[in-house]
Chain A
Amino acid sequence: MNTTAQRYSRFAMLLHWVLALAIIGSFSMGVYMSDLPFSPQRLKLYNWHKWAGVTILALSALRLLWRLTHKPPADIPMPGWQRSAAHATHMLLYVLFFAVPLVGWAYSSAAGFPIVWFGVLPLPSFVPADKELAEAIKPWHGYLAFAMAALVLMHVAAALKHQLIDRDGLLSRMWPTGR
């Protein structure tokens, strides 16, 4: 067994860390901007948040495709419940990588503000512009985003537990400068 087979591929690592930064950034921006009074600053942040969300959606699609076509490293030895919890968390995270941006996109469309990606590429609206629909969708974007935040915290806590308590080298599978 050589070391590379025990680690994720370079490209998988790149996607993982780029998406980690994009998602944490986008989430923080979302929490911050929703309380701002109506201002150019707020509109700017909303647009950046939407652009980031669509970028996350596109990169997640690429990542899912890569994950389905490339075998990840084998699980390292751990209790069965931990392995199941890890797999369930990863699967739910993947679901949310798609659900959170898609619901946000639907909200923007329903609110009558189609998304123009980076101010250049107009994206189609897949739900009609409808105030009531927009109000119905709006909270779900938040619920799902906070659910994702909770899962991310679990994911990070588990990784730290493996690194600092179990000392089983699990983190090096995804750490670019690792062995």
Chain B
Amino acid sequence: MKTYLVVAALAAMSATAFPACAQQKLVPAQSEIAFSSKQMGVPVDGKFKKFDAQVAFDPKKPEASKIAFTIDLASVSIGSSETEAEVAKPDWFNTKSFPQATFQSSGVKATGPGKFEVAGTLAIKGASQNVVVPVTVAQAGGTTTATGAFGIKRLDFKIGDGDWKDTSMVANEVQVKFKLNLTGVPAL
């Protein structure tokens, strides 16, 4: 009897300590990770079709949140099939050796109502960079939508190496945009 009570108490405690963590899920079909860069002034847009996330986000306690992402780089969709074949090559994503890009949060803080800043490490092609990502969170009917954008420099990750280093051809700045639909996130 006593043991039963202890277990129940522990269970209750863990439920409050990690609210709804296990149930938070990304809805990939309603989510989007896209990027855009410029090639001699011409905007080039791409997106990734396959990615996943492990999210434990509590809007009331953002500091305790943990957000991790994996993106399948071979799932890139970018204009022509010729371009897609090109970006898989070693000078670009080198998807054979580095199939995935990852993001691991190191800290989340609130910056305003429905606004957060997620700091973390972005790793692509064996290189890691610290990034701070502003995220806007909105909730409607059990679905939480997180949107945001941040800039990276492609050469920090050796994306477009060799002959492609010339930033007058392909700009160094790459804008990453995302819209993520999550279920199971506690109310704002």
Task: Say whether B82 contacts A43, CB under 8 Å.
Answer: no
- Chain A residue at minimum C-beta to C-beta distance from B79: A112
Q: Does B43 lie within 8 Å of A38, measured CB to CB?
A: no
Shortest C-beta distance, A76 to chain B (Å), equals: 47
Q: B40: which of A38, A39, A47, A111 is its contact (CB, 8 Å)?
A: A47
A78 part of interface (Cβ distance < 8 Å): no
Instruction: Give me the 8 closest cross-chain CB pairs, A-B, nearest first.
Output: A119-B41, A116-B41, A112-B79, A47-B40, A40-B169, A116-B42, A38-B86, A119-B40
When chains A and B are docked, how far (Å) is the Cα of A39 from the Cα of B44? Answer: 16
A131 touches B164 (CB 8 A): no
A113 close to B169 (CB less than 8 A): no
> Is A120 an interface position by the 8 A CB rule?
yes
- Most chain B Cβ neighbours within 10 Å, of A40, A47, A112, A114: A40
Shortest beta-carbon distance from A17 to chain B in Å: 28
Query: A39-B163, A40-B169 in contact; A114/B79 too (CB < 8 A)?
Result: no
CA distance A122 to B79 in the complex (A): 18
Map CB proximity to B onto A106-134 as digits: 1 under 8 Å, 0 otherwise.
00000111111001101000000001000
CA distance A31 to B82 in the complex (A): 19
Are A114 and B43 also in contact (CB < 8 A) when A38-B86, A40-B169, A43-B169 are?
yes
Nearest Cβ on chain B to A132's Cβ, whole angstroms:
12
B163 contacts A47, CB within 8 Å? no
How far does the alpha carbon of A13 sit from the alpha carbon of B43 in the complex, in Å?
Answer: 38
Decide if B163 touches A116 in the complex (CB within 8 Å): no
Query: What are 27 A-B contacts defined by CB distance under 8 Å?
Result: A38-B83, A38-B86, A39-B163, A40-B163, A40-B164, A40-B166, A40-B170, A41-B163, A43-B39, A43-B40, A43-B169, A44-B40, A44-B169, A47-B42, A111-B79, A111-B80, A112-B79, A112-B80, A113-B44, A113-B79, A114-B42, A115-B42, A116-B41, A119-B41, A120-B41, A122-B41, A131-B80
Chain B residue with minimal CB distance to A47? B40
Complex interface bits, B149-183 against A, C-beta within 8 A gives 1, otherwise 0: 00000000000000110100110000000000000
